């Protein structure tokens, strides 16, 4: 059963954003999605300051970044950072669309949060978004981002939906290359394969806010309709799950992607790693935007903040 406060949020959201439609062009989808995000995004918290910058990739294109910093912790030497990759099915989303999440994370943890505006599909198909997030992460680990981050401060990766795919993929590839420095990994209602895991794939195929048809449409716009796909971009197609950073995987009850989080966490645990699984009862995909009204979302957010704060001063064992 959908939480009562969540049902009210779904009704409000549906009046603005009727959902993904393959009949619309990507530009039209983005316009409607951005209007929806703006309508449910409150003002920036008073304690959070922002700084915009651009990162130039080795290939020569620019990636917009935005730093969210809690003014109360700006002088703390132990301040860590979180790279945040937004959701939107690899097709939608921007620095602005997910500011509700990134600003609240900075406000409630005291950590620096850096939002990454990676390239979107279908103009830039796979592995473009993955490549962008990988390059930004490498630069962050090397102290080459255009912000005054403390050298050697712990770095964590986080993302929601498609952004969680990016975060997980980057962490796994860095593990494969024995690159150290990622102290935590947070995945919120993640899409971790090209086909959702059962039983949610069947039982939640027509869930509010995201349907199985939507998942397939986004998948095809990013990865295309003809496999094979770039192997490293699909976390649940990996052959090993050991030596990953401590991971928090959060699924939500009414979401065809719910069991992606469960399967990923189970595989990490089976490989001897540290993985915590949370399933948000009564919640739906994209629910983080209802943080001001939903008790379930508030609990979800508190779990994310607790995890990030706990691992903000710990070195990752991955790659050792």
What are the residues facing 37 on neighbouring strands? none
Residue 127: pLDDT band (50, 70, 90) is very high
Work out the average pLDDT over 198-209: 97
Three-class SS state of 164: helix
- Averaged pLDDT of the chain: 94
- What is the C-alpha to C-alpha distance for residues 127 and 64, in angstroms, rounded to an integer? 18
- What is the C-alpha to C-alpha distance for residues 185 and 173, in angstroms, rounded to an integer? 13
Look up 255 and say whether it is catalytic. Answer: yes
pLDDT at residue 320, as a whole number: 35
Work out the average pLDDT over 247-266: 98
The full set of domains in the chain, from first to last, is 4-310 (3.40.50.1820)
Pick the more confident residue, 76 or 54: 54
Query: Does an H or E element contain 208, and which?
Result: none
Q: State what percent of residues in the chain have pLDDT above 90.
A: 86
Question: Catalytic pick from 161, 169, 294, 316?
Answer: 161
- What is the C-alpha to C-alpha distance for residues 93 and 116, in angstroms, rounded to an integer? 10
79, 150 Cβ separation under 8 angstroms = yes
Work out the average pLDDT over 197-205: 98
pLDDT at residue 74, as a whole number: 62
Look up 260 and say whether it is catalytic. Answer: no
Question: Catalytic pick from 255, 260, 294, 301?
Answer: 255
**Each residue of 16-32: pLDDT tens digit?**
887 777 778 999 999 99
**Each residue of 160-190: pLDDT tens digit?**
999 999 999 999 999 999 999 999 999 999 9
- What is the C-alpha to C-alpha distance for residues 265 and 60, in angstroms, rounded to an integer? 36
Look up 124 and say whether it is catalytic. Answer: no
Question: Catalytic pick from 285, 294, 301, 316?
Answer: 285
Helix 295-310 and helix 4-16, axial crossing angle in degrees, nearest 10: 90
Work out the average pLDDT over 285-298: 97
- What is the C-alpha to C-alpha distance for residues 31 and 33, in angstroms, rounded to an integer? 6
- What is the C-alpha to C-alpha distance for residues 320 and 316, in angstroms, rounded to an integer? 9
263, 252 Cβ separation under 8 angstroms = no
111, 74 Cβ separation under 8 angstroms = no
Pick the more confident residue, 73 or 77: 73
pLDDT at residue 103, as a whole number: 98
Residue 315 has pLDDT above 70, yes or no: no
- What is the C-alpha to C-alpha distance for residues 281 and 278, in angstroms, rounded to an integer? 9
Confidence (pTM): 0.96
Three-class SS state of 65: strand
pLDDT at residue 318, as a whole number: 43
pLDDT at residue 250, as a whole number: 98
258, 204 Cβ separation under 8 angstroms = yes
Residue 151 has pLDDT above 70, yes or no: no
Sheet holding 155-160, edge to edge: 48-56, 62-70, 112-117, 81-85, 155-160, 182-188, 247-254, 275-284
């Amino acid at each position: 059963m959908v939480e009562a406060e969540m049902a009210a949020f779904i009704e409000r959201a549906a009046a603005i954003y009727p959902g993904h439609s393959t009949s619309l062009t990507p530009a039209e989808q983005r316009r409607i999605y951005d209007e929806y995000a703006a309508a449910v995004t409150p003002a920036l918290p008073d304690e959070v300051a922002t700084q915009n910058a651009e990162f130039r990739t080795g290939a020569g294109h620019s990636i917009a970044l935005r730093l969210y910093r809690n003014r109360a912790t700006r002088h703390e030497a132990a301040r860590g950072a979180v790279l945040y990759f937004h959701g939107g099915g690899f097709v939608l989303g921007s620095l602005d669309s997910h500011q509700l999440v990134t600003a609240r994370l900075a406000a409630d943890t005291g950590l620096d949060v850096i939002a990454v505006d990676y390239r979107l599909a279908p103009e830039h198909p796979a592995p473009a978004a993955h490549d962008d997030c990988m390059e930004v992460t490498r630069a962050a680990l090397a102290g080459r981002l255009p912000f005054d981050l403390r050298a050697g401060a712990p770095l964590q990766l986080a993302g929601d939906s498609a952004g969680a795919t990016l975060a997980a993929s980057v962490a796994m590839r860095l593990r494969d290359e024995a690159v150290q420095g990622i102290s935590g990994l947070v995945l919120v209602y993640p899409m971790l394969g090209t086909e959702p895991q059962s039983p949610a794939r069947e039982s939640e195929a027509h869930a509010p806010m995201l349907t199985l048809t939507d998942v397939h449409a986004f998948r095809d716009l990013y990865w295309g309709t003809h496999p094979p796909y770039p192997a490293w971009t699909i976390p649940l197609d990996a052959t090993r799950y050991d030596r990953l950073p401590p991971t928090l995987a959060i699924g939500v009850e009414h979401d065809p992607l719910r069991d992606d989080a469960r399967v990923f966490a189970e595989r990490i645990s089976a490989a001897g790693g540290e993985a915590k699984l949370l399933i948000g009862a009564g919640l739906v995909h994209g629910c983080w935007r209802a943080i001001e009204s939903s008790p379930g979302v508030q609990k979800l957010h508190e779990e994310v903040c607790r995890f990030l704060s706990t691992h903000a001063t710990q070195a990752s064992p991955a790659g050792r």
